């Protein structure tokens, strides 16, 4: 009799159906596992054996050292570029902007001095005016080519380029009328001075402030601490120390040459980074505090002296025709007094900032010259108020050698300030280049040592792995 089998009823006992294929992740083809799942499984199995753990440790150490090197390169590159900009771009542009301001102010002073001399205008006075105008024009062209995308600076350069020819045209008209003995020459000169004080000099001041702002931004970028690099270096060192301690506890071997070399390379990079930036920060701080700040004060003092001299000349030229709105006194004499107060304050600050005898000496000479200038100006003003124009003119202009005049005292002040500016510019350049030099070699050194450290870590772990073969 044939025996037949029947499938068990649902819910009943009987034979258990064979197990199906293992479950697969959603979206995976039936019967196949994803590469990710297989990789995780292999990593899990590897982590259960010492060789597998060593491979993971070696890869992690090499990665940490390379991350340290990469972050270091990124931060060092940014700070080196900023320091290079301080030395080679932003500070020269700031200095050029200050020179544009000084040249314009000096041209205004020279033009008024030549007007006072009239037909006796000396060739040196005329050449000084022409040199100032040529220097300002040349620096404007250079600034336009090098200022980059700074829209504020470009706007001021455009304004200066448009207004400077108008100013020089007014000066030529004033000179021509003055040589013919026409009173209209004084009016042209006063209008030219108004153009200078209300259009050109404010634009030059804004250009100087914009370029100095860029300089200070580069200062801040070059001096900022590479915190990410230092943190990455400390993490890499901590991992290397942990790996060597683990190796010692498992093998009783004090040193692993590969790991020791990787640790030494990381320590060198970390110390080089910290010390290099410390020295660079110190030098750049010195350049800013003892160079750039002194330069700014001296530039302001020099401009105040030039404007004071122009005001003194225009006081005699205008003969009381232009009054100050608030005091009803002679506008140019009021301007002279205001500028001399600014000059006194600037010289006091410059003397305080000067950090060596070579910097203090010209500032002290300038301060002595200002005292003499004030005395001679007072004598000239007294003679002018009494109606003795010729005596007043002699006190301001002097004889052909300009002796015993306020002009001679002004020349002393101007030459002394020029010497002080040159000294502080040299001090700035020296300190800033020292700061840039402290960062020299860091890019190449960091890249090379990071690669050496990563390779040494892998070799050190490889030496341990060879013991299991």
Tens digit of pLDDT for each residue in 145-163? 887 767 888 899 999 999 9
Residue 146 is predicted with a pLDDT of 82
Residue 348 is predicted with a pLDDT of 93
β-bridge partners, 323: 330
Contact 432, 87 (CB under 8 A): yes
Cα 20–Cα 25–Cα 29 angle in degrees, nearest 5: 75
In the DSSP assignment, the letter for residue 17 is P
The backbone torsions φ and ψ at residue 192, rounded to the nearest 5 degrees and listed phi first, read -65, -40
**Measured distance CA(151)–CA(143) in Å, rounded:** 12
Contacts of 202 (CB under 8 A, 6+ apart): none
Report residue 394's pLDDT band, with 50, 70 and 90 as the boundaries.
confident
pLDDT exceeds cutoff 90 at 387 = no
β-bridge partners, 330: 323
Give per-residue pLDDT as tens, 167-177.
Answer: 999 999 988 88
The backbone torsions φ and ψ at residue 330, rounded to the nearest 5 degrees and listed phi first, read -60, 120
Contacts of 231 (CB under 8 A, 6+ apart): none
Q: How many helices (H) and strands (E) does the chain have?
A: 15, 0
Contact 343, 302 (CB under 8 A): no
Contact 304, 103 (CB under 8 A): no
Q: Is 467 exposed, middle or buried (0-12, 13-18, 19+ CB in 10 A)?
A: exposed
Q: Is the pTM of this model over 0.85?
A: no
Contacts of 165 (CB under 8 A, 6+ apart): none
Contact 311, 336 (CB under 8 A): yes
Residue 177 is predicted with a pLDDT of 85
> Among 12-26, 71-85, 259-273, 430-444, whose mean pLDDT is lowest?
12-26
**Measured distance CA(102)–CA(117) in Å, rounded:** 22
Share of the chain above pLDDT 90, in %: 28
> Among 68-72, 237-241, 316-320, whose mean pLDDT is lowest?
316-320
pLDDT exceeds cutoff 70 at 33 = no
Which tokens go with 45?
């199995």
Of 114, 173, 103, the residue nearest 137 (C-alpha): 103
Give per-residue pLDDT as tens, 102-121.
Answer: 899 889 888 888 787 765 66
**Measured distance CA(66)–CA(68) in Å, rounded:** 5
Q: How large is the average pLDDT for residues 427-447?
A: 87
Contacts by 192-200, CB closer than 8 A, 24 or more apart: 192/108, 192/111, 192/167, 193/108, 193/112, 193/310, 193/314, 195/163, 195/166, 195/167, 195/170, 196/104, 196/105, 196/108, 196/167, 197/108, 197/307, 199/159, 199/163, 200/104, 200/160, 200/163, 200/164, 200/167
Of 334, 378, 367, 407, the residue nearest 125 (C-alpha): 407
Q: How many CB atoms lie within 10 A of CB 368?
A: 14
pLDDT exceeds cutoff 50 at 418 = yes
Contact 312, 406 (CB under 8 A): yes
Which tokens go with 407?
């002009």
Contact 285, 223 (CB under 8 A): yes
> Among 132-141, 213-222, 259-268, whose mean pLDDT is lowest?
213-222
Contact 357, 405 (CB under 8 A): no
Give per-residue pLDDT as tens, 211-252.
Answer: 888 888 888 888 888 899 999 999 999 999 998 888 888 776
In the DSSP assignment, the letter for residue 284 is H
Residue that wins the pLDDT comparison between 25 and 283: 283
Of 35, 157, 31, the residue nearest 100 (C-alpha): 157
Residue 382 is predicted with a pLDDT of 87
**Measured distance CA(35)–CA(87) in Å, rounded:** 54
Contact 248, 254 (CB under 8 A): yes
**Measured distance CA(29)–CA(122) in Å, rounded:** 99
Report residue 320's pLDDT band, with 50, 70 and 90 as the boundaries.
low
């Amino acid at each position: 009799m044939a025996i037949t089998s029947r499938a068990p009823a649902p819910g009943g006992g009987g034979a258990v159906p064979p197990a199906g294929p293992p479950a697969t992740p959603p979206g995976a083809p039936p019967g196949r596992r994803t590469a990710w799942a297989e990789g995780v499984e292999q990593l899990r199995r590897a982590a259960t054996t010492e060789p597998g753990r060593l491979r993971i440790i070696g890869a992690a150490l090499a990665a940490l050292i390379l991350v340290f090197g990469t972050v270091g390169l990124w931060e060092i590159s940014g700070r080196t570029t900023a320091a290079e900009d301080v030395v080679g771009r932003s500070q020269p542009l700031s200095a050029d902007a200050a020179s544009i301001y000084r040249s314009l102010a000096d041209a205004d002073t020279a033009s008024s001095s030549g007007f006072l001399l009239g037909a006796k205008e000396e060739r040196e006075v005329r050449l000084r005016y022409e040199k100032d105008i040529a220097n300002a024009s040349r620096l404007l062209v250079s600034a336009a080519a090098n200022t980059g995308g700074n829209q504020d600076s470009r706007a001021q350069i455009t304004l200066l380029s448009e207004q400077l020819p108008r100013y020089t045209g007014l000066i030529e008209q004033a000179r021509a009328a003055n040589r013919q003995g026409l009173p209209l020459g004084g009016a042209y000169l006063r209008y030219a001075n108004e153009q200078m004080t209300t259009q050109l000099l404010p634009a030059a001041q804004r250009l100087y402030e914009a370029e100095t702002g860029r300089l200070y931004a580069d200062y801040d970028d070059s001096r900022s601490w590479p915190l990410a690099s230092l943190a990455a270096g400390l993490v890499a060192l901590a991992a290397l120390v942990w790996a060597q301690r683990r190796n010692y506890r498992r093998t009783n071997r004090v040193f692993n040459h590969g790991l020791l070399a990787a640790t030494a390379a990381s320590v060198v990079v970390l110390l080089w980074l910290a010390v290099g930036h410390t020295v660079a920060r110190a030098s750049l701080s010195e350049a800013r505090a003892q160079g750039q700040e002194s330069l700014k004060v001296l530039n302001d003092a020099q401009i105040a002296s030039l404007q004071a001299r122009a005001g003194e000349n225009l006081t005699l030229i205008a003969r009381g025709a232009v009054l100050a709105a608030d005091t009803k006194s002679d506008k140019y004499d009021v301007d002279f007094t205001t500028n001399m107060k600014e000059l006194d304050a600037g010289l006091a600050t410059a003397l305080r900032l000067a950090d060596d005898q070579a910097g203090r000496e010209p500032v002290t000479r300038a301060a002595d010259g200002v005292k003499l200038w004030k005395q001679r100006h007072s004598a000239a003003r007294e003679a002018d108020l009494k109606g003795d124009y010729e005596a007043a003119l002699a006190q301001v202009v002097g004889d052909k050698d300009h002796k015993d005049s306020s002009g001679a005292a002004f020349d002393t002040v101007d030459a002394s300030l020029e010497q002080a500016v040159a000294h502080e510019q040299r001090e700035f350049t020296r300190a800033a280049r020292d700061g840039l030099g402290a960062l020299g070699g860091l890019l190449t050194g960091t890249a090379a040592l990071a690669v050496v450290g990563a390779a040494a870590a892998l070799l050190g772990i490889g030496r341990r792995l060879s013991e299991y073969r």
